[in-house]
Structure 1
Amino acid sequence: MAAVATAGDDDLVEYGFRRVIITITAVLCALLEIVDTTIVNVALTDMRGSLGATLTDVAWVITAYAIANVIVIPMTSWLSQQFGRRNYFAVSIIIFTVSSFLCGNASNIWELVAFRFVQGLGGGALLVTAQTIITESYPIAKRGMAQAIYGMGVIVGPTLGPPLGGYLVDNFSWPYIFYINIPLGIIAVFLTMTFVKSPKYGEKLKANQVDWWGIVFLASFIGSLQFVLEHGQQDDWFNDELIVILSVVSVLGFLAFLWRELTYQHPIVNLKVLKDGNLRVGTVMCFILGFGLYGSTLVIPIYTQSILGWTATDAGLLLIPGSITTAFMMPIIGNLIQKGVPQAYMVAVGFLVFFVFTFWMHNIITPDTGVEHMYWPLIMRGIGLGLLFVPITTMALSTLKGKHIGEGAAFTGMMRQLGGSFGIAIITTFITRFSQEHRVNLVSNLDMSKLEVQNRVHQLQQSFMSKGFTPNEALGKAYQLLDMSVNKQSTVMSYMDIFLYLGILFLCCIPIILLVKRGKNKVDLSEAMH
């Protein structure tokens, strides 16, 4: 990077009221971005009806936002240095807020998709810059606690979206899931310009020095990959021509991006920082953390709504106690890091706790599981996430120095987002395939020559006949009900498989901790651009 921060370690440290306000501002902006990632999920049906869109079209509301997010995250370190962190942060809030208003006023689905993409560009910058603003406002000795405060927003955000979205859609209308951002965004801009300070950087790059090709290759690689992951399952993966084309674009874009960043004098993303062993291990762990966090956040609402028949609001509320547990854990974890407890030990325990959660869920989910059965496993999930988020981030950066900390932190953020995308894509694919496999096995056991099967069909037939149906109609409905029962059971068994394999994945991560070297120096996260 040509622009290197020249500010001293304590130049940006705040105390008292100013630090409280800056912390609230940064956490608020991080929450705004993350809540907006999941809040639209429960409003898609209403959007579809209001805008006259197909299910495939309305899915782009989620996809456009995710693609823009993942593209802008790796570039945020560079953009902050070019324009000044406070200015970049404030402009990002304005872009996010204005595009929220435009999303709420969209007159057709493609207008909404375009505005969501712009919103995602602003939102990705909010997420990755908020952490830096918080950490640079705290003395080095307290930056573990600062990470914990930021972590509350990042972990709690995804679970706040569905219940908040459900409430707004049920009581108002879908545009209000975007309008709610407007007053919060205006307040955040005012507080940012009033209280947030920006580090002093060296000379900015001239227009002809900017890595434009790096930006193009990064956007084509990440954007195409994100689209393939979002739409692969519903479009039948490589049987779809567009998926094949974008997969090729992603691979070629990735190779071109690698070549450009390793050979250009002023790369937009410094790949050489990955020579650090701890960062390489940390990026893998961030990927797996995103996989587990977003994957389990996807499975539980789908299971409770499609199998147990819950409303979207109830499904979202189920996740809140676990999120509160994570928020409660964060200051404790930050305090332990400050006292010198090795992060590797906490990460290992976190992976083990997450395995216990997934194995527990594997054993309890049935077509009739109640909220009381899932309460404590989800509390366990909250504890596991608390033990993973901050220790993984600090451990990944523990052997980096100076500007390399910010460059390395951008990789951890990007990999966490990509881990979530991969997790959702792989899990939805395997739910479909496991369900088909279990259905075939269950149907093969429904042998009509067996007495218990005949008795079950007869009981169902008699039940429908008592409601006024003819014997033939009642028999048809009995078979139909039996088929629905088989489908439900096969789907539940597929969810059981998903939880089991997620748990095994986390269990296998524990030995990776042995690859991590203990950093000799304390991590100065003040220069972390993510």
Structure 2
Amino acid sequence: MPKVYNVTTLTKPKIDFLSIVLSTIAFGSIIYGLSTISEDSTLATIIIVVGIVALLLFIWRQLTSKHPMIDLQVFKYRNFTIGSVLIFIVFSLLLAIAILMPLYLKGSLLLSATNAGLAMLLGNILNAVFAPIVGKTFDRVGPKFYLRFGFLCLVISTSILFFVISATTPLWLVIVSCMIFYVGVSTTIIPAQTNALNDLPKKLYSHGSAVINTLQQIAGAAGTALAITLMTTRQHSYTVEHSTATPETLVAVGTQFAFGAIVIVAVIGLLLAFFVRRPENN
């Protein structure tokens, strides 16, 4: 019967309560500030600044503590740093799409909740199909091809959506774009994470895994917050310019504006993918 073996040394580190408090304030404040900046920009800016200060103190604490909650020495390794950024980008895009597309499908194309879910289903099925294939062939193919191909899919799919989104966009075009997007997701997450962790020495495995898991949660929250903020901001400005705009048009315009930022982030990921290489210790 297959077993999972522990490959690390079991330790019992002390809980650093100051690090927990600082990280909670830092990440919570930044995410909350990003999500409310369209409602009260002054207060949101103050909250974001508080979060950044807390984040800097958290980093200082980790670098000076004898027993850091998260050992930031992992960022000394080139592939891990690039891989962490790529994972952050993918998860921010994934969660941004996951919240924008249902809103667009229901609010602009006027699909029911069931039909909107079915429209997103094909892309998720492709993700489920490709993920194990990528995992099994990763050692043979390597990270370069998968990451470059995956981010190219993300750029193509988000660019299509940015240029075609409107209140009258054909549903099939949205579905095809989402399918391309989720193929990109399935061919980037596993290679980025695996290649990043492969670059670390054994003693830093647990810290590297903790960093990546933390970044995934932050990326998801940040991607969602920014997507909704950009969407609502554009809706408000468009309402001022076109007071007779229909609700369907407002949703489409807001979604398209948010996709402009999403395309830029995807392009940054594609450029970074060209700097990825196999770890020398692999």
TM-score by shorter chain over 0.5 = yes
* CA pair 290-202 structure 1, distance change in 2 beyond 3 A: closer
Structure 2: gaps spanning 5 or more residues: none
CA RMSD in angstroms comes to: 2.5
Look up the match of 1:496: 256
Q: 1:213 to 1:440 in 2, by over 3 A?
A: closer
Quote the Cα distance in structure 1 between the aligned partners of 2:45 and 2:263: 31
Q: Does 1:408 align with 2:208?
A: yes
| % identical equivalent positions | 24
C-alpha distance in structure 1 between counterparts of 2:252 and 2:265, whole Å: 20
Residue 132 of structure 2 aligns with which residue?
A: 331
- Is 1:247 the counterpart of 2:48? The answer is yes
1:224-280 CA distances to partner (integer Å, 9 max, x unpaired)? 2333334444xx24333xx45543432232122122111111111111121111111
Q: Distance in 2 between matches of 1:319 and 1:346?
A: 23
Separation in structure 2 between the aligned mates of residue 278 and residue 200 of structure 1, nearest angstrom: 21
Per the alignment, do residues 334 and 228 of structure 1 end up closer, same or farther by CA in structure 2, a change over 3 Å counting? same
Question: Once the 2 structures are TM-superposed, how far is the Cα of residue 201 of structure 1 from its aligned partner?
Answer: 4.1
> What are the equivalent positions in structure 2 for 1:91-490 lying under 5 Å apart?
137=4, 201-202=9-10, 204-205=12-13, 209-233=14-38, 236-240=39-43, 243=44, 246-339=47-140, 341-442=141-242, 483-485=244-246, 488-490=248-250
Partners in 1 of 2:91 and 2:203 — Cα distance?
A: 25
1:489 deviation in Å?
2.7
Q: Conserved in 2, the CA contact under 8 Å of 1:442 and 1:490?
A: no
1:396 deviates by 1.5
Summarize the Cα distance change of 1:308–1:254 in structure 2 as closer, same or farther, 3 Å threshold. Answer: same
Output the TM-score relative to the length of structure 1. Answer: 0.49
Partner Cα distance (1:501, 1:289) in 2: 14
1:508 aligns with 2:271: no
Q: Please list the CA deviations of residues 118-160 of structure 1 after superposition, one character each: whole Å capped at 9, or x if unmatched.
A: xxxxxxxxxxxxxxxxxxx2xxxxxxxxxxxxxxxxxxxxxxx
Q: 1:373 to 1:285 in 2, by over 3 A?
A: same
Name the TM-score, length of structure 2 as normaliser. Answer: 0.88
Stretches of structure 1 that go unaligned for 5 or more consecutive residues are 1-13, 20-136, 138-196, 444-482, 523-530
User: Bigger radius of gyration, 1 or 2?
Assistant: 1
Once residues 379 and 424 of structure 1 are traced to their aligned partners in structure 2, the CA distance between those partners, rounded to angstroms, is 20
- Residues 232 and 425, structure 1, Cα contact 8 Å, conserved in 2: no
| Matching residue of 2:280 | 520
* Equivalent residue pairs, number: 282
Q: Is the 8 A contact 1:273 1:404 kept in 2?
A: yes
Cα distance in 1 for partners of 2:6, 2:260 equals: 46
Alpha-carbon distance between aligned partners in 1 of 2:245 and 2:230, rounded to the nearest angstrom: 20
Cα distance change of structure 1 residues 311 and 250 upon mapping to structure 2, 3 Å threshold: same
Deviation digits for residues 413-462 of structure 1, max 9, x if unmatched?
2222222222222222221232344445556xxxxxxxxxxxxxxxxxxx
Which SS does the other structure have where 1:204 is aligned? coil
1: distance between equivalents of 2:6 and 2:85? 31
1:484 Cα deviation (Å)?
A: 4.0
- What amino acid is aligned across from residue 499 of structure 1 in structure 2? F
Over 3 Å counting, the alpha-carbon distance change for 1:226 and 1:489 in structure 2 is: closer
Q: Distance in 1 between matches of 2:51 and 2:259?
A: 30
Local SS of the residue matching 1:397? helix
Cα distance in 2, alignment partners of residues 391 and 200 from structure 1: 22
Question: By how many angstroms is 1:380 displaced?
Answer: 1.0
